[in-house]
């Protein structure tokens, strides 16, 4: 029996692609997303019955902790965890409201903190287990309208660096992938109202053009694997040269 992984954000985009990749190689995956319908649709396309799904909306740290504790009891422990959940929230600072701040920060920070808190238990994350989280080039490059989204990713990267110190005492690891624009459902929503020339400009900021979900999946798989056992606390650029 191959390993067992937990993927948050498995109902769409990067989390979906990593889940499908793991399943195709014979691993078991517990996939979390908000939409039970989307998870069910992905599940029904799998040739394996190793994909277990649960829907959950992360908006509160304690509830998330309770939910993940129950998930570990039912399906755990896990070899590795990929946290890809998150939502776009692009707004000029003068327009922001409490709800925007909550949506930009709470899901990714609360879920990552809940994962981290539980990861010291071997019933949740196995010995030498690895956690990978998704960040964005926006943490390193300022742009109007991006302050909330970008600073939430900056906070996440800082969390990765600090958490690595505490996890290392148990031989466990955490790293982040700092992605440029990748063609997912989120990317489609973000670019759908750009004009042709705006889209071209955006793509040309990436030396190698927009990425495909697989471009991220390869690196996530490496970071989840023992092959990367000497890497922790790092945020790795996978951005088609955006930050070059
Ligand atoms: N795509 C890019 O270009 C890109 C670049 C850099 C960084 N990133 C980051 O990578 C992550 C994944 O992006 P993506 O493109 O794969 O996005 P996506 O296609 O929109 O997928 C996001 C996933 O997160 C889940 N989710 C969102 N809010 C949630 C909440 N409050 N509770 C539980 N689940 C929640 C969604 O669930 P439902 O679909 O079921 O609602 C979905 O499974 C995000 O954090 C994003 O910021 C993406």
Q: Are 129 and 79 in contact (CB under 8 A)?
A: yes
135 pLDDT more than 80: yes
Ligand 1 centroid, distance to 9 Cα (angstroms): 6
Query: Could you read off the pLDDT of 53-65 as tens digits, one per residue?
Result: 999 999 999 999 9
CATH class of the domain comprising 4-238 = alpha beta
Which mutation among 6, 7, 14 tests ligand 1's pocket best, with the greatest number of atoms within 8 A of CB?
Answer: 14
Cβ–Cβ < 8 Å for 82, 8: yes
Q: 85 alpha carbon to ligand 1 midpoint, in Å?
A: 4
Per-residue tokens: 69: 């504790």
Which whole-number Å values give the CA distances from 74 to 65, 132, 227, in the listed order?
Answer: 14, 22, 28
Which residue lies with its CA nearest to atom 26 of ligand 1?
Answer: 85
Report the alpha-carbon distance of residue 199 to residue 196 in Å, rounded: 5
- The average confidence (pLDDT) of the chain is 97
Q: Residue 80: its pLDDT value, please? A: 98
CA distance 120 to 123: 9
Q: Collapse the DSSP code of 31 into the 3-class scheme (helix H, G, I; strand E, B; otherwise coil) and give the result.
A: strand
Pocket of ligand 1 (CB under 6 A): 9, 11-15, 33-35, 38, 56-59, 84-87, 107-108, 134, 136, 179, 181-182, 184-187
Instruction: With beta carbons less than 8 A apart as the criterion, state whether 5 and 81 touch.
Output: yes
Would you say the pTM of this structure is higher than 0.85? yes
The residue extents of the domains of the chain are 4-238
DSSP H stretches of helix in the chain: 13-24, 36-44, 61-75, 98-118, 147-168, 185-191, 196-204, 213-224
206 alpha carbon to ligand 1 midpoint, in Å?
21
Q: Which of 9, 10, 56 to mutate to test the pocket of ligand 1 (most atoms within 8 A of CB)?
A: 9
Average pLDDT over residues 35-48: 96
pLDDT in tens, 78-115: 999 999 999 998 999 999 999 999 999 999 999 999 99
């Amino acid at each position: 029996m191959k390993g067992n992984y937990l993927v948050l954000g498995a109902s769409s985009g990067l989390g979906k692609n990593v889940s499908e990749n793991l399943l195709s190689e014979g691993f078991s995956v517990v996939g979390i997303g908000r939409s039970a319908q989307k998870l069910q649709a992905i599940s029904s396309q799998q040739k394996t019955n190793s994909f277990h799904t649960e829907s959950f909306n992360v908006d509160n740290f304690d509830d998330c902790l309770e939910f993940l504790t129950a998930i570990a009891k039912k399906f755990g422990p896990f070899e590795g965890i990929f946290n890809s959940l998150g939502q776009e929230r692009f707004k000029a600072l003068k327009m922001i409201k409490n709800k925007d701040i909550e949506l930009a920060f709470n899901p990714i920070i609360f879920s990552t903190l809940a994962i981290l808190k539980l990861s010291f238990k071997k019933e949740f994350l196995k010995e030498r287990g690895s956690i990978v989280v998704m960040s964005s080039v926006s943490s390193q490059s300022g742009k109007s309208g991006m302050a909330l989204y970008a600073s939430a990713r900056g906070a996440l990267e800082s969390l990765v660096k600090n958490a690595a110190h505490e996890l290392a005492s148990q031989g466990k690891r955490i790293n982040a992938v700092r992605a440029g624009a990748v063609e997912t459902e989120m990317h489609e929503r973000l670019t759908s109202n750009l004009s042709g020339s705006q889209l071209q400009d955006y793509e040309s900021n990436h030396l190698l053009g927009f990425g495909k979900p697989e471009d991220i999946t390869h690196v996530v798989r490496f970071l989840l694997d023992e092959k990367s056992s000497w890497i922790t606390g790092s945020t790795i650029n996978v951005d088609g040269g955006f930050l070059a």
